[in-house]
A and B are shown apart, each in its own frame.
Chain A
């Protein structure tokens, strides 16, 4: 099998799994327990918190462990009680759907447009400001097309105005440098399974002094802001996974960019009608999103699946949904173009031979599907 859907989820790294297994086996204590089994797991969680903090340039006490990216995004957005929120039209559904629920409660939401490459402009953010703007939430990098937003510029502008700034960095953390102070964010979400950690664990960075009412209520865990018995194994794995990703980042960026470039070049050479979506000069290293003429992405995806290649049509979270991608539509694609897109996303375990197989299979699939239709 060739797995080229690393933007959906990644395989847990072997060395991370090894650390995790200790806490799925003998070290099973509840981190809130006072006996030695509990103390050991508590220490392991605090080590993971330091690892995460170091990785994103935060203080350990600013790191809250959650059940994943959707929880973090949903938590931050749903905390707004009144006024106005600014976000973009290509955010993840955990942001957008929470914004829709805010609108039902009478809160105004501005969904900023993006240009044809998926970029939000600082100018449009500034124009959207209102005196009652409570929160701006812009993703760091898009999950479907990989476009990286000018978060640092927006952050600087917001800091001057004292407006709370959140960034969904689920696709970015572990893949490109993310330093909270450089970005100027107050809140930032990340998810472990996107950087070779396990599913079911996420991170919320919450700058000191930022008040965020809990989403989940209960005991005293995570300083009382995120109660619930801690997922020790998941948290420990998150710490090691983020550390490993940061250590390998430079080499991985070079490798993934080369794979993406080879894919783009190969597709252009063999399939002249194909269009690369997103910002080729300013995107996550391993993501290639491409639209084709006259076929649906779904048919291509299934064809590739039969040949043992995993790619996706858009984001995994909406792949059971019939709507064309809201991200691609926001770039100005036609519905047909949006429905024809596939996303190829490379990761640590891919290699250049796989790229050749993918491009060859894809071009073959395209020809076959097109001729079958005619």
Chain B
């Protein structure tokens, strides 16, 4: 296992040992349901509330504005559906961007089918949304603006603070998908000015199957899953206590470690980008060079398929991806890369390497020793590459 070089942290991260240690009591002796009133149940509910405070602290929210869900996708679906149905009287126009996660785009498309309207903003060649276009798109029917904080494929960070100022002025609900940023770069709900945000534990060294939704006090959003009165009657279901505790611990660790980790990761990122650019020609760095997540590297390599690169890298013990994991079953080129204006072949020829706190400079060296040979080999066999 230790031989593997894992460069797919945007897909998921390993669970931190301290996080798992915090979870273990709730997977064993402390197995009570957090909704029960006897002592073992109260211990579970206290642990859930402590986790809520930790998540709230990480994003600058009040703990009663944090609701636990099964993950980022659920939170995003809830936001779109919940805001649109709560504001049906005002209108049903939604503004989003072309490069959002499918957890946002799919419910928006459904809304369009059901008679609502949506403005899906273009992005520039680095993946940035244009603020003026966003402003112009607002109508008196607009009930929701949803723009992700940072993109999962190319790492471009959007000017969410500026968007928050606009939406606040216009009194429009602003949701932001912060699945890729919480725990990695500062996320403060008041700095961003968002009314809701989605986050996921397994992207910040917590477990899969648990996430959270921040909903600003007073923001109108309909309930999603109905049932028992859990989560202040807004999200039913027996609490995933161990998972929630894991998310809380991961949030606590992130708050302590983030500054240092992002410096270290940025160094590795820049080393990887510079190394690839100096050793391999006919490539394109996808995403904004400056407004970029500390851990994201995404390149298109002319003339070859990302999928073949993944397999050959994997045979060398290096885990990378071609785009988002969520759509890897699909043969379509990445909607994010296509939105940047890339050609089909370029989008298919992309490789995403996302770093984490378990990566070392030695590993990056090994990647830089391995990748050029793989690209060369694939280009030799490629009918598409003619240099």
Is B238 an interface residue when CB atoms closer than 8 A count as contact?
yes
Q: How many residues of A contact B (CB 8 A)?
A: 77
Contact B226 A33 (CB under 8 A): no
Among the 9-residue stretches A131-139, A254-262, A276-284, A317-325, the one with 4 or more Cβ atoms under 8 Å from chain B is: A317-325
Question: Measured between alpha carbons, how far is A229 from B223 in the docked complex, in Å?
Answer: 22
Question: Measured between alpha carbons, how far is A215 from B225 in the docked complex, in Å?
Answer: 9
- Docked complex: B300-337 residues within 8 A CB-CB of A: 307, 310-311, 313-314, 319-322, 324-330
- Docked complex: B83-142 residues within 8 A CB-CB of A: 101-103, 106-107, 110
Question: Measured between alpha carbons, how far is A126 from B11 in the docked complex, in Å?
Answer: 50
Residues of B within 8 A of A319 (CB): 35-37
Question: Measured between alpha carbons, how far is A32 from B103 in the docked complex, in Å?
Answer: 15
Residues of B within 8 A of A92 (CB): 227
Question: Measured between alpha carbons, how far is A26 from B358 in the docked complex, in Å?
Answer: 13
Q: Which of B4, B77, B329 contacts A217 (CB under 8 A)?
A: B77
Question: Measured between alpha carbons, how far is A71 from B13 in the docked complex, in Å?
Answer: 25
Contact B229 A12 (CB under 8 A): no
Chain B interface extent, by class: 35 or more
Residues of A within 8 A of B4 (CB): 37
| A 221-236 to B, binary, CB cutoff 8 A, 1 in contact else 0 | 1000001111111100
Contact B15 A219 (CB under 8 A): no
Contact A26 B1 (CB under 8 A): yes
Residues of A within 8 A of B326 (CB): 32, 218-221, 227, 229
Residues of A within 8 A of B238 (CB): 8-9, 68-70, 191, 193, 199, 316-317
Chain B residue, CB-CB nearest to A201: B209
Contact B74 A67 (CB under 8 A): yes
Among the 9-residue stretches A94-102, A244-252, A328-336, the one with 4 or more Cβ atoms under 8 Å from chain B is: A94-102
Chain B interface (Cβ within 8 Å of chain A)? 1, 4, 6, 8, 11-15, 20, 23, 27-28, 31-33, 35-41, 69-74, 76-77, 80, 101-103, 106-107, 110, 200, 202, 207-210, 223-230, 236-243, 307, 310-311, 313-314, 319-322, 324-330
A-B contact pairs, 30 of them (CB 8 A): A5-B36, A8-B32, A8-B35, A9-B32, A24-B23, A25-B14, A30-B12, A30-B208, A32-B325, A33-B11, A67-B71, A67-B240, A94-B225, A97-B227, A217-B110, A218-B77, A218-B103, A218-B326, A219-B325, A227-B103, A229-B71, A230-B209, A231-B243, A234-B240, A234-B243, A302-B38, A304-B38, A305-B37, A305-B38, A312-B38
